[in-house]
Structure 1
Amino acid sequence: MGKIRKTKPTKAKKSVPKDDSDFEEEIETDSKDTAILTILDQLQAASVEEKYCGLQTFACLLESPENIPQLLERGVVKAAAPLLMDSASSVRNASAGALRNLSTVGLEACDALMEQDVMTPLTCYFHEHAETWVPDPKSKTKDDDSETFIHCVNLLWNLCESSELAIKYLGQSRILDILPRYLDLATFGKDVVTAVLQCLFVVLEDNPQAMDKVKVLCERHLEQLLALEDDDPSTLLVRTLSAGVIINTCGGNIASLPVHVINKIISILATTLSVDHRLACNQLSSSVPLGDAAGAVVPPRGKEAQELEKQLRSVSLMIDAQQSSVEIIANLCSCDDGEYSDAEESSDGDEMEDEEACNGSANETSLLAEDKLLPAVTEALISLDIFEKVWARTQLPAENVMMILKEYEGSALLHKKLHNLQARALLCINNMLSSLPIDNLGGVNGVYKIWVEAGKLVFKQSAENLTLLESATAVMRAALDKIKFRENGNTSNTNLFTDLGLTDLEMMLTGIKECQVPEIRSNLIRMIGILALLLVNNLNESTSNVIATITEFILDQANKESEVWVLAEAVDTVVDLYSEDETDALAARVKLVEKLTVLAPILKNKARQQKRLPKEYKVLVSTAVSNLPRFIQYKRTRVAKL
């Protein structure tokens, strides 16, 4: 199932020996080099206070991204990681919190953590401190120990999500034998259970050995968690994650589950998505303190601060639950049949074999995406209005609400989570457009409205959020694909696109020209190609001008394209567009044959140069290389008869 990287929560704040201003003054006074040397000395000291102080300074430096490369280069991780095994619970806690925070920075940070062997002490922590631990209400370190466990589970989760090597380490350890015991809600509480479920949800993916083990050890606990009745945000998150873990224990093959379990899972996802996230954020924004004219914010105190913290946590948990729900639904609707065959990285002699294999598979009758989804799942998704609920998650709260959440330090992470939820919901919509019957998506007109709304996100908003742009362009492409499939390219019986003119295209084409991300470029090129294809059966002066403009633009972009798979997408789009005989006159008008003749050797050369591609891209490139010469010959013959 498709993996989607999640936003990780920030560390829990702990009291420190000195206040934050003292730390900042010390760091500003000393050079960064001196500060790091001091940290290294403190981490290797015998005194608990020295080690704790060093870890706190390490955590403080991590808050500034520009410090991270130097901290990694100087080996601070190598000194901090073994403290996961320290005899003092406060030191273990501080080490786990700092390392967890570092692992949230990005893939590069996780790679550095793996290179500096953080998995060895992390594995030892689980083996020695987590195998039999049970929280003791009378223990003075109970809260520290619980928090340390959560930090370590999150650290493991982040590493496994980023590194295959971490998954390998996990399989060689006893960690998967240990984690299931922490799903006992009555003993460990929701925070611990939630952390373990989030970790399991990731590590089970494409991991049959882990699936089998967890299925045996966790089945009873998962059934109990699934059956929880309370609908507060923390419970919704536990129930939603339990549903995801159950699906992952059967390798994503939900058909292997009893129908009543399938219905229960979809019902839980629907319940989670029924909470109005925009209303919750609107209400929260009324409690968030605003800055004065100088931008200074006076944080609340006492009971008011406690109430705000409770409200922030509640909304954050609800957003986490909704993001998990849309990810699970996206995976259920992914219809990834894994039919791509490995393309051999070979010499010219092997290229013909690849081409024949691709051509052969292309001629076979393939199962439609709508028919791949289990009927019980399709019925449940439709009856519970899941598509409408997911689409509602693509809508952000009002702009002023988002600004309030962004500017207050305590709600800044929530602002980021809302954008992540929007992007994940769009990716889910993309999958659902392919998997559900069009009549249950509002018909052709309903899908057209989805295309228009996704277009507003792509072409009328800032290009800074590349994740949003990629998911929104995928929705635009999928929506037009759906219309094309339903109408078989004929939109003469609808009013769609009747008002589309060259001026409307300019904004789209400019967006593609300026796009620096190959995945987004590919989506947009294919999308405007499908748009042109939908106009082919309604040819008149206006639509002919639009199609000609689109064709010339795609061919021009293809000649400039650096990525061979995007070039292949462009070629495939043009071939699809002009495969019908009715396009012969248009082909002559845009000099299609001459331009494709120039493009063919460019495509072939790039295909030879760029062989290391994912499987689906290899198939796309190989098919384009094979089909283009035959298409040129076919169209040349047709145009010559005009």
Structure 2
Amino acid sequence: MGKKRTNKFPRPQFSPIGPMNSIKEEEEAGEVYSAAGDLLEKLQSANPDIREFACASISKLVQEKKVISSFLQKDVVRCLGPLLLDPSVGVRETAAGALRNLSACGGYDVCDEMVKQDVMTPLTALLQECCTELDAYGITSQKQKGADKPFVEDIANEAISILWNLCESSSTAVSIFNKEGLLDVCIQCLRQFNHNVELAISAAYCLQTISEDNAELLPSLIPSALQVLEMVLLSSEDNMEHMLLRTLAAGTVWNVKSVVPISSQANTINAVIRILSETLEKNTNQIILNLGEAAHAMPKVEAEIEMEEEMIDADDAVSNLKDGMQKTAHQGKAENMINDDISDLLPAQSEELKHATVLLAAQQTALEIIVNMCCSEDPSDDEWEEMSSSDESDNSMTEGAGILFSPPCLSAEVLSALVIYLIPKKVLEKTEFPDSGTVDVCMKYPSWQHLIAKMKRIQCRALTCLHNLLSVLDIEELGGPVALQGLSQHLAKLVFSQSELPKDSEFLEAVTSAIRSLLQRIASQNLPQSLNAQQLMILCEAGAQCENTSARVNVVAIMGIRGSALAKEDNTAEVLKMIGNFLLQVANKDSSLVVVGEALDAIIDVFADGKEAEKAADQMKLVQALKSLQPVFKSRIQKEGKGTLTPDQRLVLDNVKVNLKRFIAYQEALVKK
């Protein structure tokens, strides 16, 4: 929340993935720069229709990330910001839409820049005006746009989305949120959940973000604000949108649980976890299959008419862009942008697709909330996972937690609710997601294909969630030794059931985290490991090549855990040599000092004791290899430690450095005996 960015799950950036036109980059940049200037000039027009058109054109163009820098160079934020308070409500809405897309597609750096350029001043004024108008309108309005929805709700929806994006990225935006009392605006928008669930969802997303680790906000949560959250939690609407809304509200309530009266906290925790359980209970594979069949069961003639209408709409959009860009050579790029995958920023093409998208968002959110329940709040994702396992600590929970400090001590009420509402079971089910039939249905229809990435992300979130649950639940709460063995086989199947090992870095990070925690728990119970030596090497070699640092840390730790167990068994010297050589290679070649430190720490653990370990260390000349590596490691700590490492990471590396020196001395003493 409001950091640069230590969030456990960064929000996806909705930039297209398709290639741009094959125009020279220099020409391309010049054309975009010129087109940006033309559109920004139109923002100053006295004609509100021209201003609105320019805002709409910018809104479409900034969905392509490569275009954003040209608009920023032309001061697009300072040009659009005042239009949030334009006399024309149409201009206000399209200006807000353009800033929303800019913040969503530009990422954290662009959001920071928007805040620096003072976009929060007009945005705050707009939001406060919206709050006043929503109070005045109530649920019905005399000033309506088309149907039964007042202009103010559309504008508020766009403005709240901007606020959410900015507060995700900027602590300054969070401070302004707190200072200006924008909580009232979010609560007012949340109140509309019975008749405008879309606006309420935007407000709920913003509230969940802003309430995370925001102690300054807590005094503002007066009983009336908590009552609105309670009303949402208790709502009984049985549809996907309200399920997502309840899930987001549950996340907010969890974040602010410290202000809930002590007498109500147990009931509140139960309500939160019950809602998360209900969200995860949905059989998403079957629902998406049914929705897909329903969406594409229309008669052929009707389908053809719909397709023609969509093509006409797309052609009109491209034509408008061409006119607005004064027919520059950038027209072709605009066409590509219209056709690229920006599904999260565009309205769904059918109600069925909308329901499927919302369902996936709800389940992803539920898993992320559970992850946050079960993990330390202090370290960021890319910080080193453990202080050190070479201190001979017997705390298997700490070693398996995969965090810098000891695992969080969840209250008895939370642990009990997690078990009562079958959270471990439901999380495990999501690790199998998606099945091939669901993927096949989505692949048939272009507008549904983006759901596959969302389903795979849910699988990754479930694996991360499983990793954290393994760190906080007792063995019996996890189902006992038999369940752990079954889980080990399940994770091995996820990795090795396909002809080729998965290469997706997000999946590798998540699955290696889960395997790491599981192997630690299995080792603590002296249970047999299910991964054989060949599988272990295949997984770890793939992980070692992964660009994700956390995945590389995980596979090194997995090798250390497995090697430490093997060192206590007979006739394992050959496997220990294989493990030792792998860890040495990582320690010598990995670009991350954090990974190198983890590899050295694992070597110390594996070869600390045991006849088989001594035999393997002697055969692979481990001491000589470590002595040659030692000065390089010390030098890297001195050079890289000051600028790129956190204090905690530096402390861990210094600890490894000391332990490495002692280990080498110990091994040399053994040789002399």
What residue in structure 2 maps to residue 78 of structure 1?
Answer: 78
Distance 2:142 2:191 in 1: 20
The aligned runs of 1:115-194 (5 Å cut-off) are 115-134=116-135, 135=137, 136-141=140-145, 142-185=149-192, 189-194=196-201
Q: Which amino acid aligns with 2:618?
A: A
Tell me which moved more, 184-193 or 543-552. 184-193
Q: Which amino acid aligns with 1:594?
A: Q
Check conservation: 1:441, 1:447, Cα contact below 8 A. yes
Distance 1:592 1:256 in 2: 60
Q: Which amino acid aligns with 2:38?
A: T
Question: Which of 450, 454, 458 is 1:417 aligned to?
Answer: 454
Q: Which amino acid aligns with 2:477?
A: N
Give the SS at the match of 1:266.
Answer: helix
Question: Which of 210, 216, 219 is 1:209 aligned to?
Answer: 216
Q: Which amino acid aligns with 1:285?
A: G
Question: Which of 567, 570, 573 is 1:544 aligned to?
Answer: 573
What residue in structure 1 maps to residue 666 of structure 2?
Answer: 634
Check conservation: 1:587, 1:639, Cα contact below 8 A. no
Tell me which moved more, 357-366 or 106-115. 357-366
What residue in structure 1 maps to residue 44 of structure 2?
Answer: 44
For the aligned residues, what is the CA RMSD?
Answer: 3.6
Q: CA offset at residue 251 of structure 1?
A: 5.7
The aligned runs of 1:405-554 (5 Å cut-off) are 405=442, 408-455=445-492, 465-487=504-526, 491=527, 494=528, 496-497=530-531, 500-501=532-533, 503-540=534-571, 543-554=572-583
Q: Which runs of 5+ in 1 are unaligned?
A: 11-27, 291-295, 344-356
TM-score, normalised with respect to structure 1: 0.83
Q: CA offset at residue 451 of structure 1?
A: 4.2
Tell me which moved more, 392-401 or 189-198. 392-401
Tell me which moved more, 453-462 or 78-87. 453-462
Paired-residue identity, %? 28
Question: Which of 242, 247, 254 is 1:240 aligned to?
Answer: 247
Question: Which of 5, 14, 30 is 2:10 aligned to?
Answer: 5
Check conservation: 2:14, 2:63, Cα contact below 8 A. no
Check conservation: 1:569, 1:620, Cα contact below 8 A. no
What residue in structure 2 maps to residue 347 of structure 1?
Answer: none
Give the SS at the match of 1:261.
Answer: helix
Distance 1:166 1:254 in 2: 29
| Structure 1 stretches of 4+ moved >6 Å | 252-256, 357-367
What residue in structure 2 maps to residue 111 of structure 1?
Answer: 112
Question: Which of 417, 420, 428 is 1:391 aligned to?
Answer: 428
What residue in structure 1 maps to residue 333 of structure 2?
Answer: none
1:622 aligns with 2:651: no
Give the SS at the match of 2:568.
Answer: helix
Check conservation: 1:103, 1:109, Cα contact below 8 A. yes
Q: CA offset at residue 230 of structure 1?
A: 3.2
Structure 1 residues 581 and 415: alpha-carbon distance in aligned structure 2, compared to 1, 3 A threshold: closer
Check conservation: 2:285, 2:438, Cα contact below 8 A. no
Structure 1 residues 440 and 282: alpha-carbon distance in aligned structure 2, compared to 1, 3 A threshold: same
Q: CA offset at residue 187 of structure 1?
A: 6.8
Residues 560-615 of structure 1, C-alpha deviation per residue, up to 9 Å, x if partnerless? Answer: 12221111111111111122234222221222222222222222211111223234
Distance 2:143 2:503 in 1: 49
What residue in structure 2 maps to residue 18 of structure 1?
Answer: none
Q: Which amino acid aligns with 2:73?
A: E
Residues 172-220 of structure 1, C-alpha deviation per residue, up to 9 Å, x if partnerless? Answer: 3221233223332467632222221211111111110112213545111
Question: Which of 308, 314, 320 is 2:361 aligned to?
Answer: 320
What residue in structure 2 maps to residue 96 of structure 1?
Answer: 96
Q: Which runs of 5+ in 2 are unaligned?
A: 2-6, 16-27, 298-302, 310-346, 399-405
Give the SS at the match of 1:397.
Answer: coil
Q: CA offset at residue 533 of structure 1?
A: 2.0
Distance 2:34 2:573 in 1: 69
Check conservation: 1:529, 1:573, Cα contact below 8 A. yes
Q: Which amino acid aligns with 2:429?
A: A
Structure 1 residues 363 and 422: alpha-carbon distance in aligned structure 2, compared to 1, 3 A threshold: closer
Question: Which of 587, 591, 596 is 1:558 aligned to?
Answer: 587
Check conservation: 2:44, 2:51, Cα contact below 8 A. yes
Structure 1 residues 222 and 63: alpha-carbon distance in aligned structure 2, compared to 1, 3 A threshold: closer
Tell me which moved more, 208-217 or 427-436. 208-217
Residues 84-112 of structure 1, C-alpha deviation per residue, up to 9 Å, x if partnerless? Answer: 11121111111111211222222233233
Q: Which amino acid aligns with 1:330?
A: V
Q: Which amino acid aligns with 1:481?
A: Q
Return the structure number with greater relative CO, CA threshold 8 A, min gap 6: 2
Tell me which moved more, 367-376 or 328-337. 367-376
Q: CA offset at residue 550 of structure 1?
A: 1.1
Q: CA offset at residue 387 of structure 1?
A: 0.9
Residues 591-642 of structure 1, C-alpha deviation per residue, up to 9 Å, x if partnerless? Answer: 222222222222221111122323442332122122111122122222433x
Check conservation: 1:288, 1:308, Cα contact below 8 A. no
Structure 1 residues 120 and 416: alpha-carbon distance in aligned structure 2, compared to 1, 3 A threshold: farther
Give the SS at the match of 1:372.
Answer: coil
Check conservation: 1:358, 1:619, Cα contact below 8 A. no
Structure 1 residues 574 and 360: alpha-carbon distance in aligned structure 2, compared to 1, 3 A threshold: closer
Distance 2:509 2:529 in 1: 28
Give the SS at the match of 1:133.
Answer: helix
